[in-house]
A and B are shown apart, each in its own frame.
Chain A
Amino acid sequence: MTDTPHKSDVAFIQALAELLRENDLTELRVKREYGADDSLDVRVSRGGPAPVAAPAPAAPPPPQAPATAPAAAAEVPEDPARHPGAVTSPMVGTAYLAAEPGAAPFVKTGDTVEEGQTLVIVEAMKTMNHIPAPHAGTVKRILVEDGAPVEFGAPLMIVE
């Protein structure tokens, strides 16, 4: 890589790597379009060869660019959490995808859900906090595993 990656790109990739580890995922890929000829395509994986990161900003935004899109993007640490359909964890705890061990999961990828339907439970202090679907839609992605620890704001699911 000849370009020196933009500082925020590095932070962004680090955040993704952390997300990968915390949620026990094997691979994560995020593609972002900053403008017509400015994009970032990152794939982070583990368990195989060294993590691959391929930022390809055709025209990297200048550091501390004032206002508008690039600056806003620079403040974004985790892409799935910023997805318009992201359902995030309101607290630190343990995520459960089913009411109890061995039970059917609340939802599966591809399921149609109604507003208010429980998607996942996050437990902290022996409080089982139900996270309902914020709106009707389809479960596009499930970003956590049953029993995984989650941080505040961690994306749990994408419902569109």
Chain B
Amino acid sequence: MSTEAVWPEGYDRLILDEVDSTNAEAARLAPDLGRPTWILARRQTAPRGRRGKSWTMPEGNFAATLVMRPTGTPGWAALRSFLAANALFEALALSVDRTRLGLKWPNDVLLDGGKVAGILLESASQNGQVSWLAIGIGINLQSAPRIRDAAFPPVALDGAAGGPEEMLDLLAGYYATEEAILERLGFEPIREKWLRHAARLGEVITARTGRDAVTGRFETVDQDGRLVLATPEGERRIAAADVYFGEGA
């Protein structure tokens, strides 16, 4: 790819040959952080997925974390899940037909129904205010790990989207735009954009929480970012869950 991306103003960039995990590095940098900083690693020795889920990273794939010290409540900070998903969607849509891409609540980007990327956000809060936020993004740019029986089998871009550093430039640019929208206009335009790219909107999906599963029609995402499902027992608004398509899983 030869897209000349302009690095966004107000953001720093740190490129590392190797690190344990970019999110771990973000947590170490966070206390003394000046400006929002993207940390890109060519290799991760201990990549982390959500809740201990494995996330392997062959070289050539993308692993980066944006660490920042936003203001506001942790609930507001968590809405950046959707900003990251929107930015990643746009960055990938430069390389593959956007009809092949879809978003799964809250921040999974699917390519042909498979998992092409993963986003893991971590934050810390004190006295009801967020102190730092790390948005970790992994993209299967070159190759996908083999995982048996995955509900969303890993897929890769096979190099179609260029290398990690080119991807970082694109992603940083799109993310900065999303952040500026959030700052000036609030969450609503972010939410609307996300819904335009949502997979299975209006269809039956299943949200699995730690202890139960809720199946219902995927109505919308509300102004707090919660998943809204219409179930036979009424409407359910869900703040934390893993989403599966259909009634199964």
Contacts and interface: CB of A to CB of B under 8 A. Distances in A.
A146 B210 contact: yes
B109 interface: no
- Interface size band for B: 35 or more
Chain B interface main SS type: mixed
Contacts of B211: 147-148
A100 B239 contact: no
B120 A149 contact: no
A105 B239 CA distance: 23
Contacts of B82: 125
Interface stretch (A25-33, A37-45, A75-83, A90-98): A90-98
B78 A91 contact: yes
Interface stretch (B90-98, B121-129, B155-163): B121-129
- Interface size band for A: 20 to 34
Contact of B106 (A90, A125, A131): A125
Interface string B126-154: 11111001000000000000000000000
Nearest to A153: B128
A127 interface: yes
Interface in B75-102: 75, 77-82
A125 B225 contact: yes
Contacts of A149: 209, 239-240
A57 interface: no
B74 interface: yes
Contacts of B225: 124-125
Interface of B: 50-52, 73-75, 77-82, 106-107, 119-130, 133, 209-211, 224-226, 239-240
